[in-house]
């Protein structure tokens, strides 16, 4: 029994890493870091602005990593950091016009590829996939803590 679980777990982890590598290679091809890819992805997907703290929570990256990537994007003119009224510490991250053009050129094709991949599956398959991964993450988290 344990051998079967170990084999399946290895396969699961290898597939997970393969999927991660697809995104890593996409970022590399566009000469950006993985963190920058996910920041731009978030900003592209949601018309609302995020705070740095929200981006950290959404993507499970340390604040220093997110801050460094944001500062780089800000220097390049792709994002603007705006103060939140009543809170000087938190800043909203907003795409500039150049940032919107960048995400349209870089992130839109990636999102389309993801949608095509999900679209190639039955709706019940995608729902099952998501619910099973969610259950696995919750179980893993509860046993690692």
Q: How far apart are CA 32 and CA 106, in angstroms?
A: 10
pTM: 0.85
- Percent of the chain past pLDDT 90, that is, above it, reads 73
Over residues 93-122, the mean pLDDT reads 96
pLDDT at 99 over 90: yes
- Amino acid 37: pLDDT: 96
Q: What is residue 106's predicted lDDT score, i.e. its pLDDT?
A: 97
Whether pLDDT at 60 is above 80: yes
Residue 12 is assigned to a structural domain of this protein: no
pLDDT band at 50 (very low <50, low <70, confident <90, very high): confident
Given pLDDT bands bounded at 50, 70 and 90, which one contains residue 42?
very high
Find the CATH number of the domain harbouring 57. 1.10.10.10
Range of the domain at 104: 34-144
Give the DSSP H or E segment for 12: helix 2-29
What tokens does 56 get? 């950290």
Is 60 inside a domain boundary? Answer: yes
User: How many domains are there within the chain?
Assistant: 1
Is the residue at 40 inside a domain? Answer: yes
Average pLDDT of the chain, as a whole number: 91
Q: Check pLDDT > 80 for residue 2.
A: no
Average pLDDT over residues 75-90: 84
Pair of tokens at residue 85? 């009224």
For residue 4, the model assigns a pLDDT of 79
In a domain, 15, yes or no: no
User: For residue 53, what pLDDT is reported?
Assistant: 87
Would 29 be classed as within a structural domain? no
- What integer pLDDT is reported at residue 48 of this predicted model? 72
Q: pLDDT for 65-82, tens place per residue? A: 999 999 999 999 999 988
54 exposure class (CB count in 10 Å sphere: 0-12, 13-18, 19+): middle
Give the integer Cα–Cα distance in Å for 116 and 53.
31
**C-beta separation of 63 from 56 below 8 A:** yes
The answer as to whether 28 is a domain residue is: no
Residue 6 included in any domain: no
Has residue 104 been placed in a domain? Answer: yes
Give me the pLDDT at residue 1, please. 62
Q: Is 51 helix (H, G, I), strand (E, B) or coil?
A: strand
């Amino acid at each position: 029994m344990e051998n079967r679980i170990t084999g399946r777990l290895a396969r699961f982890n290898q597939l997970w890493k393969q999927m991660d590598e697809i995104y890593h290679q996409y970022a590399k091809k566009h000469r950006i870091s993985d963190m920058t890819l996910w920041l731009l992805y978030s900003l592209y997907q949601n018309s609302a602005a995020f705070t740095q703290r929200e981006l950290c929570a959404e993507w499970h990256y340390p604040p220093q990593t997110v801050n460094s990537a944001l500062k780089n994007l800000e220097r390049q003119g792709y994002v603007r950091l705006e103060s939140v009224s009543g809170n000087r510490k938190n800043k909203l991250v907003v795409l500039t016009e150049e940032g919107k053009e960048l995400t349209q050129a870089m992130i839109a094709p990636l999102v389309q590829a993801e949608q095509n991949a999900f679209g190639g599956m039955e709706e019940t398959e995608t729902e099952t996939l998501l619910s099973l991964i969610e259950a696995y993450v919750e179980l893993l988290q509860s046993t690692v803590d």
